[in-house]
Amino acid sequence: MPHLDCHTAGESHGPTMVVTITGMPAGVFVAEAFINAELKRRQGGFGRGGRQGIEDDKVNILTGVRASRTTGAPVTFAIANKDSRLEDSKRTPPVFRPRPGHADLAGAVKYLTTDCRDVLERASARETACRVAAGALARCLLREFEIEAFGCVRSIGGVEGSFEVAPGTWRELIAHRDSSETYCPDPTASEKQKAVIREAKLAKDAVGGLVEAHVFGCPPGLGSCMDWRDRLDARIAGAVMGVQAIKSVEIGLGRDAAARPGSRVHDPIRYDTARRDKEPSLGFLRDTNNAGGIEGGMTNGQPIVVRAAMKPISTLLQGLPSVDLNTKAPERSQYERSDICAVPAASVVVENAVAFEVARAFCDKFSGDSLVEVRAQYQAFLKLARQLPLEGEGTKLA
C-alpha cells in the first residue's frame, strides 16, 4: 500500500506549478474552496512584492478526484503561473551575478554552469504554492477525524506578539490573525511589525521572523520510536526545513529546554477517567506541553507545537557583494523581483507542511485504501486503547 507522499514540479516563471499527492485514501471530500483559500493566504501578507498582484492562485484538479472526492488514484493539482515568461530571454535573462543567501552560486556550480537562471527558477519559493495545496488536501483528510491545524506569525524583525495558542483559544485567534496584515494575532505587535517592514523597504533591505504551527486533536501513537526515519518530530523538522529560507525548527520548548533542569522541562502526567472516552488523548492530561505534543518521536495526545525561524529574503534591492561567474570580477548581486518580507506567507506554508506530515503519520498508523477503512482502523485503535490494560496484559510481567 503506498504511503501518503507528494512531489512538486514546475519553475517560478514557467507555465504552471504541479503537485502530485499519492497514497490518499479514496472517499475523502476535496474542499476545493478551502484549498484555494489557503493558496490565497499564502499570497498575502504585508511586505510582499509585485508578483502577488499578478498571480491568482487556484488549483486545477487534473487527476484522482471524482465528484469532489478522492478515488484512491494519485491526486494532481496544477497551479497556473500568469507571469509565465521563462522562454522569453529578454524578460528572463541569464543571471551571472549570484545572490548571497540564495541557491544561485551553489546550484550553478553543482550543474556546471555560469547561468544561475535554471537553478533560481526551481529554487524559488513559488514552489511552496504546491506544498500549501498538498497540505490543505491532507487537512481535508485530518478534519474527518477532528484533527485541525493552526498557523501564525510569532515575530518579525524582533517584534514579538504576545498571545497564547491553546486548545481553548486557537479558534478565537483565527479572526485576529486573519485581520492582521502580518498574520500575527496580536494587533499591537502587528502594527509594529509593519513599521519594521516599512523601514526595511526604505533601506532596500529585508527582514525575517518566527512562525508557528499547532495541530490539535491527534491521538497518542502517531510516528514511531523504533526507526529514526519514522520519528514524527524528525519528519516534521525535515519537512519544515525544506521550506525555502527556513533556518531552524523547534518542537515545543526547543532550544529553551537546554537551559532548564529536567523538573522544569518534562510534562507531568495525570489521568482523568471522565475524559477517557471524550477526547483523543484518552484521558491522559498534562499541565504543561513543553514537549510540544511529541515524545520519543510519537504524538502523546497533546497539541503539536512547531516553531520555525525564517531568514530575510536573499534578494535585496541594494544588492550585496558578489562576483560575475564568467569573469570572476567583483560585482553587486543581480536583482530579481522579490519581497521585503515573506514571513506571513511562510507561516501558511509551514502550517500546511506540518499538517501534511501529521497526515502521513496518521495514514501509516491507520492504513486503508478507503476513508471507510481508515476510520474503522482509527475507531478500533481508540476502543482498544481505552480498554487498557487489555486482558492479561497488566500482569503478564509480574
**Eight-state DSSP code of residue 301:** S
5 against 279, higher pLDDT: 5
Please give the pLDDT value at position 395: 57
Confidence of residue 152 (pLDDT cuts 50, 70, 90): very high
Residues 342-382: tens digit of each pLDDT:
999 999 999 999 999 999 999 999 999 999 999 999 999 99
Q: Which residues pair with 210 in a beta bridge?
A: 155, 309
128-143 and 343-365 helices, crossing angle to 10°: 50
Question: If pLDDT is split at 50, 70 and 90, which confidence band does 328 have?
Answer: very high
Look at residue 123 in the predicted model and tell me its pLDDT.
Answer: 94
- Tell me, what amino acid is at 243? V
Tell me what pLDDT residue 86 has: 84
Instruction: Say how many CA atoms lie within 13 Å of 105 toward its Cβ.
Output: 15
Query: Considering the chain, what is the average pLDDT of its residues?
Result: 94
Closest CA to 190 of 159, 221, 169, 166: 159
5-386: CATH architecture: 4-Layer Sandwich (3.60)
Q: What is the pTM of this model?
A: 0.95
Confidence of residue 278 (pLDDT cuts 50, 70, 90): confident
DSSP string, 311-354: PPPS--TT--EEE-TTT--EEEPPP----S--HHHHHHHHHHHH
Integer Cα distance of 360 and 143 in angstroms: 14
Mean pLDDT of 329-335: 90
Q: How far is the C-alpha of 369 from the C-alpha of 168, rounded, in Å?
A: 34
Q: Cell match 484522482: residue?
A: 64
User: For position 336, what pLDDT does the model report?
Assistant: 74
Determine the average pLDDT of the residues in 115-129: 95
For the chain, domain boundaries: 5-386
Confidence grade of residue 39 (pLDDT, cut at 50, 70, 90): very high
Beta bridge partners of 248: 309
In the predicted structure, residue 22 carries a pLDDT above the cut 80: yes
Q: Cα separation of 238 and 353, whole Å? A: 10
Q: What is the pLDDT of residues 78-88, one digit of tens each?
A: 999 998 888 87
Segment 285-298 mean pLDDT? 97
pLDDT at residue 390, rounded to an integer: 86
